[in-house]
Chain A
């Protein structure tokens, strides 16, 4: 039993933000029906791809494996269950993570038959989540009015860059562009250089996580009070109102007229910021607030100098410099794990800067069960990050790996009461559209 195992999510999302939101619901039991266009979710074409390895089994007919657009060949493995299939769409590690536990159906929403099929799915759904450009679903005849007519208690969660209205409604964006506009990017980096963003597409994962909360809120309103609504999640607003300093920099300006300077590190202190050590770096941001603990961590006589412990003399830049001249060599004599062990003993805030290799091999995370192995029909055995949180009851489970494109088309539409002939007609429509596209 899982918490959301009585919830059906009709998932019209693609790329990262929407799929991450619905992936969280799926991880805790929801039946997430992922509707993909004939070519599949764009994330199927985004890296990292599983690269070929020694020991991969060659294809039975001796042919070369299909090549990904970005150059990653795929390995032989299980065959898709429904239709002729391009295996190059099944090797993205990003897609795998984002779509684990979902079922995939292929529908070309441009056809009237497909909209009828979509109606059948919507009748059985509790919420619909989508992240098309605003207005797209309306133009296809399956926007808010369509879903509201199907079932008044059904909510539609629309995720978009800037929201469903306003002057930027139709603007293009990306993780960089959104985070720069609405997140606290301006103050990240060096004073004499350009602002710099977070890693990868972190900003989009944040927004996906926020969207999951909005979607679940809508589920409660629907289940408890029969309220269906068109929820508007603007990625920009998930950052402008977010905890990572942006809402605080905004109100700080309102309060004081002060703006937040873009400056490397996190100010000066004893210690403060990132320090080099024997094999890398350790982060001591805000650790200086507990001088007694810091002295205990260092464990050397110099650290107990009263000037280093006094609340006001500690604000003196010369004293901070003098202290750091002692502290940097102390760090350099130790590995990042050794520094962290001393910090943990003395209850000093600290974090070593781990690489992906450090994390992957780290015993703490392994022993706690952070990694989870899935069997994927094309990629084989894959280790991926597991549960985002641990519920004692009704918690996280992996029921199936991310679906192959259209893997569940037949199964899902049968469940929705459609006949073989009706399902077959859908795929013919898809093929006709694909041909039209090609021309």
Chain B
């Protein structure tokens, strides 16, 4: 087997929900050994699903991306199947331990002593309540790298605010900047792009600290305030205010740099939005030459020669009307056909793919993007692939989304070197399990 960029580094994953687990998954993809301690008596909502044992009725009303469990049933071990969970837990190890008890903290200390990185993104006081602080970790391992990713940082009036990505994006301006330009923000669908930023940059931060440690021998504490981190996505709006005191409006699907036309247009659809069979194609024309190319791709319709569409400024000023004309053309065509005609002319256009259609896309297929993984009780499925290709140190999906306590034996026996007596004692005390305690809903 070849090398992996981060082989030999061990990461303790004390993460919850999405942003932290995304970061540790990227580190695992690059070869780090990521180990997640999990508590059989405490369920963290949003991580292994909304509930450990969700009633069927709860799954039925949840959005597909959170409630679409295998076969549409909770199954025998529902904590292993939530779509958002399985998306973030490949290549990781899981073992169980109750950190609320001293012997559980002792297990964690022994693990930390053998680790390089501890990563967490809990609400600000969660780990303190358990007694896990940077100083405590350093007593176990002097050069430990401890990354904390609170929502708003560990200081200031918002330090204790509870938040998911969607809330801190509201605070950082995204919710007012996005959405239809002619509808209020309460129409906005909840999204979590802040988790994407914090996850990728948390992984990057860990690597920066490892690089620093290799040179100096020093570990350290890193604080990644997710709100501050997410701000970069809105650079244009932040800089416009900073430079000019201009508050940019929501522009929907229009081009932030002023090019036109730029939008999402109807395509020939086998069904409706209600059945999730409506089809759309995005078209983004950048410059007059591309506008001329789009006119050709549309078959040079007479309306397109109108002087109201002659220049960028004119097209931007008459954008709604332009949209109606283009939509009239695209609505009669398959979305991939619009793509082919536009791209052949050199115009950016792609179908807006509902997720299930990704699996039929010829390009993603040709690239070998999807990866098959087998999950106990659920069977084999195709999963979205890795985020990049490093051909000499490839990302492998060696460990499928990890089951609760799957690596108990490996961690306790091989990594921590415990004997049968010690392991049996911890098992009898409820630390070692492969299911949540029955008291956990």
Task: Find chain B residues with CB under 8 A from A385 CB.
Answer: 228, 231-232, 235, 238
Contacts of B225 in A (CB 8 A): 368, 389-390
Contact, CB under 8 Å: B385 / A389:
no
Q: Is the CB of B241 within 8 A of A357?
A: yes
Please report the C-alpha to C-alpha distance between residue A347 and residue B161 in the assembled complex, in whole angstroms.
7
Between A184, A353, A371, the greatest number of chain B beta carbons within 10 A of the residue's beta carbon is seen for: A353
Q: Given A189-B180, A352-B171, A354-B173, A220–B207 Cβ distance below 8 Å?
A: yes
Looking across the interface, which residue of chain A has its beta carbon closest to that of B165? A244
Q: How far is the CB of B214 from chain A (nearest CB, A)?
A: 8
Complex contact B178–A196 (CB within 8 A) = yes
Q: Interface on chain A toward B: helix, strand, loop, or mixed SS?
A: mixed
CA A241 to CA B366, docked complex, whole Å: 16
Bin chain A's interface residue count: 35 or more
Most B-side CB within 10 Å, residue of A186, A245, A251, A283: A251
Proximity bits, A305-343, B CB within 8 Å = 1, else 0: 000000010010000000000000000000000001001
Q: How far is the CB of A372 from chain B (nearest CB, A)?
A: 11
Q: Which residues of chain A have C-beta atoms less than 8 A from B270's C-beta?
A: none
Binds A, one of B80-88, B111-119, B422-430: B80-88
Q: Give which listed residue, A220, A273, A360, A391, contacts B220 with CB less than 8 A.
A: A391
A379–B242 Cα gap in the complex (Å)?
A: 12
Q: Which of chain A's residues have a CB closer than 8 A to the CB of B131?
A: none
Contact present for A221 and B236 (CB under 8 Å) = no
When the two chains form their complex, are residues B153 and A261 in contact, meaning their CB atoms are under 8 A apart?
no
Complex contact B156–A368 (CB within 8 A): yes
* CB–CB B84/A213 < 8 A: no
Are B253 and A197 touching (Cβ within 8 A)?
yes
Complexed CA–CA distance, A97 and B369 (Å): 33
Q: Mark A244-260, 1 if CB is under 8 A from B, else 0.
A: 11111111111111111
Query: Would you call A351 and B3 a contact (CB within 8 A)?
Result: no
Task: Give, as a whole number of angstroms, the nearest-CB distance from A254 to chain B.
Answer: 4
Q: Which of B157, B248, B358 contacts A364 (CB 8 A)?
A: B157
Choose among B224, B263, B383, B390 the residue with the greatest number of A CB atoms under 10 Å from its CB: B390
B220 partner residues in chain A, CB cutoff 8 A: 391-394
**Complex formed: what's the CA distance from A426 to B81 in Å?**
60
Q: Is A410 interfacial (CB 8 A cutoff)?
A: no
Q: Decide if A229 is an interface residue (CB 8 Å cutoff).
A: yes
Cβ B369 vs Cβ A315 within 8 A: no
Interchain CA distance A289-B51 in the complex, whole Å: 10
Interface stretch of the complex, out of B100-108, B300-308, B346-354, B412-420 = B346-354
Q: Is the pair B237, A200 in contact by a Cβ cutoff of 8 Å?
A: yes
For residue A429, CB closer than 8 A to chain B, the reply is no
For residue B399, CB closer than 8 A to chain A, the reply is no
Contact status B390-A188, CB under 8 Å: no
- In the assembled complex, A177 has its CB within 8 A of some CB on chain B: yes
Instruction: Please list the 5 inter-chain residue pairs (A to B) with the smallest Cβ-Cβ separation, ordered nearest first.
Output: A351-B167, A93-B239, A252-B68, A199-B177, A249-B355
What distance in Å separates the Cβ of A123 from its nearest Cβ neighbour in chain B?
A: 21
How distant is B239 from chain A, measured CB to nearest CB, in Å?
3
Query: Does A273 lie within 8 Å of B186, measured CB to CB?
Result: yes
Which residue in chain B gives the minimum CB-CB distance to A380? B243
CA distance A189 to B280 in the complex (A): 13
Query: Are A177 and B282 neighbours in the complex by a CB distance under 8 Å?
Result: yes
By beta carbon, the residue of chain A nearest B215 is A6
Bound together, the chains give a CA A280 to CA B79 distance in angstroms of 38
From residue A389, how far is it (CB to closest CB) to chain B in Å? 4
**1/0 per position for A180-199, CB-CB distance to B under 8 A?**
11101111111111111111
Give min CB distance, B387 to chain A, whole Å.
Answer: 5
Q: Chain A, 141-180, contact with B by CB distance < 8 Å: what is the 0/1 string?
A: 0000000000000000000001101111001111011101
Q: B398 interface residue, CB < 8 Å from A?
A: no
Are A165 and B367 closer than 8 Å at their CB atoms? Answer: yes
Of A162, A225, A348, the most chain B CB neighbours within 10 A belong to A225
Residue B6 is within 8 A (CB to CB) of chain A in the complex: yes
Residue B189, interface by CB 8 Å: yes
B348 & A196 in contact (Cβ 8 Å cutoff): no
**What is the chain A residue whose CB lies nearest that of B339?**
A171
In the bound complex, residues from chain A placing their C-beta under 8 Å from that of B196 are: 206, 209-210, 242-244
Closest Cβ of chain B to A256, distance in Å, is 4
B381 touches A348 (CB 8 A): no
A356–B187 contact, CB under 8 A? no
Q: Please name all residues of chain B whose beta carbon is closer than 8 Å to the beta carbon of A70 when the two chains form the complex.
A: 258
Residue of B nearest to A379 (CB): B243
A229 in contact with B390 given A50-B243, A360-B241 (CB within 8 Å) = yes
Please name all residues of chain A whose beta carbon is closer than 8 Å to the beta carbon of B216 when the two chains form the complex.
1, 393-394
**Contact indicator B69/A243 (Cβ below 8 Å):** no
Q: A189-B180, A387-B228 are in contact. Are A211 and B388 (CB under 8 A)?
A: yes
Q: Which of A102-110, A112-120, A231-239, A411-419 lies on the face that meets chain B? A: A231-239
Q: In whole angstroms, what is the CA distance A193 to B67 when docked?
A: 24
Given A24-B201, A180-B264, are A251 and B381 also a contact pair (CB < 8 Å)? yes
Query: Do residues A370 and B231 form an inter-chain contact, with CB atoms below 8 A?
Result: yes
| Stretch of B33-41, B55-63, B403-411 contacting A (4+ beta carbons < 8 Å) | B55-63
> Which residue, of A49, A237, A238, has the highest number of chain B Cβ atoms within 10 A?
A237
**B234 / chain A contacts, CB cutoff of 8 Å:** 199-200, 202, 356
Residues of chain B within 8 A of A351, CB atoms compared: 161, 163, 166-171, 175
How distant is A43 from chain B, measured CB to nearest CB, in Å? Answer: 10
- Indicate whether A399 reaches chain B with its CB closer than 8 angstroms: no
**In the complex, chain A residues whose CB is within 8 Å of the CB of B393:** 217-218, 221, 227, 229
Contact across chains for B356 and A388 when beta carbons are under 8 A apart: no
Cα distance, A181 to B157, chains bound together (Å): 40
B72 beta carbon closer than 8 Å to chain A: yes
- Write the B1-38 contact mask toward A (1 if CB under 8 angstroms, else 0): 00111100000000000110010001000100000000
Closest Cβ–Cβ distance, residue B296 to chain A (whole Å): 15
Q: Within 8 Å CB of A379, what residues of B?
A: 243
**Please, how many angstroms separate the alpha-carbon atoms of A136 and B237 in the complex?**
32
Best-buried of A163, A192, A258 by chain B (most CB within 10 Å): A258
Which A residues between 364 and 389 are near B, CB-CB below 8 angstroms? Answer: 364-365, 367-368, 370-371, 379, 382-385, 387-389
A274 to chain B, nearest CB (A): 4
User: Which residues of B (328-369) have their CB < 8 Å from a CB of A?
Assistant: 343, 346-356, 358-359, 362-364, 366-367, 369
Instruction: Decide yes or no whether B246 CB sits under 8 A from chain A.
Output: yes
Contacts of B155 in A (CB 8 A): 367-368
User: In the complex the two chains form, is A390's CB within 8 Å of B222's CB?
Assistant: yes
Q: How far is the CB of A412 from chain B (nearest CB, A)?
A: 23
Q: State whether A266 and B244 are in contact (beta carbons under 8 Å apart), knowing that A240-B384, A388-B224 are contacts in the complex.
A: no
Within 8 A of A (CB), among B59-101: 61-72, 81, 83-84, 86-88
Q: Assuming A344-B161, A365-B156, what are 4 further A-B pairs, CB within 8 angstroms?
A: A253-B356, A364-B152, A379-B243, A387-B228
- Closest A residue to B286 by beta carbon equals A174
Q: Is A22 an interface residue (CB 8 A)?
A: no
Question: Are the CB atoms of A205 and B233 closer together than 8 Å?
Answer: yes
Residue A96 at the chain B interface, CB threshold 8 Å: yes
Kindly state whether residue A263 has any CB partner on chain B within 8 Å: yes
30 A-B contacts (beta carbon < 8 Å): A24-B201, A28-B208, A48-B243, A97-B239, A168-B343, A176-B282, A192-B273, A194-B280, A200-B235, A206-B193, A213-B207, A218-B5, A237-B386, A237-B387, A243-B87, A243-B199, A244-B193, A245-B84, A250-B359, A252-B83, A260-B276, A261-B63, A261-B276, A282-B170, A312-B57, A344-B161, A357-B247, A364-B158, A379-B243, A389-B201
